Amino acid sequence: MVQAGDDLPTLLFNAIDHGALGCKDGDILVVCQKVVSKAEGRLADLRQIVPSAFAEQLAQQTADGKDPRVIEVILRETKRIVRMDSGHLIVETGPGWVCANAGVDESNSGDPNIVVLLPHDPDASAARIARAAQTRYGATIAVIVTDTFGRPWRQGLVDFALGVAGMSALQDLRGTGDLDGRVLKHTINAQADALAAAAGLVMRKGDAIPAALVRGYEFTPGEGAGTQLIREKQFDLFR
């Protein structure tokens, strides 16, 4: 289990080498947010949290009697409450992610008194792992840091990209042609989200698999950021 202060790249690469895979140019390493946050010490100890009156009020509205200290942590990680009903909180975090409970997670924390927060800067976290791969293997890889989000209007959870390094989060197909020769004008694929979702299928929550190595997906190496995936305010019709 990953602990605060652990050298996460070394842990990941040791596991990769144990499987005789190594890292090669063009690989994409998809890493779940939880181990990134744990290694970076992005944890909150509920024993040190004093809930506000507002957090207490919200806790009383939840059907399952949610811990008001957890709600207090959520509120501290929140920049804007997008929607609130019956104790459920959909909020915007500092970087701009809109998600349930500001990404604060009680599962797999290793201690019932500890909750896991999102990394301060997932893009920087991804970049550190990518640089470590260059140092260890001499390979240029991309790294995607992921978390599991719900989606408006659709059932089920999907892994999304929070941090991206070594590739663009978006695949811009504008200017290319479709099968009928029409020029595409609006098609920009969220390739980092698609890769995150695919990797999530083998990174099951109860299996202690915190990363997946994607090999064979063609992309153009370069600068990238998870924040590319946040819709700009002027184009967000639901804000």
Q: Which CATH superfamily is domain 43-116 in?
A: CofE-like domain (3.90.1660.10)
On whether the CB atoms of residues 198 and 215 are closer than 8 A, the answer is no
pLDDT of residue 204: 86
Distance CA 43, CA 108 (A): 12
Sheet strands (E) in 69-195:
78-85, 88-93, 98-100, 114-116, 142-151, 154-165, 171-172, 188-189
> Which one-letter amino acid corresponds to residue 113?
N
Distance CA 183, CA 4 (A): 50
Please tell me the pTM assigned to this model: 0.94
Sheet strands (E) in the chain:
28-32, 43-45, 78-85, 88-93, 98-100, 114-116, 142-151, 154-165, 171-172, 188-189, 211-214
pLDDT of residue 171: 92
The CATH class that applies to domain 1-42+119-229 reads: alpha beta
Q: What is the pLDDT along the chain (239 residues), one digit of tens a residue?
A: 899 999 999 999 999 999 888 999 999 999 999 999 999 999 999 999 999 999 999 998 887 778 999 999 999 999 999 998 877 899 999 889 999 999 999 988 889 999 999 999 999 999 999 999 999 999 999 999 999 999 889 999 999 999 999 999 999 889 999 888 899 898 899 999 999 999 999 998 888 899 999 999 999 999 999 999 999 888 888 87
pLDDT of residue 205: 80
On whether the CB atoms of residues 210 and 31 are closer than 8 A, the answer is yes
Q: Which two tokens stand for residue 126?
A: 């991804």
Domain layout of the chain by residue ranges: 1-42+119-229, 43-116
On whether the CB atoms of residues 219 and 194 are closer than 8 A, the answer is no
SS3 label, residue 126: helix
Unique residue bearing structure tokens 């989606």 = 151
For the chain, the C-alpha Rg in angstroms (whole number) is 19
100 strand-pairing partners? 90
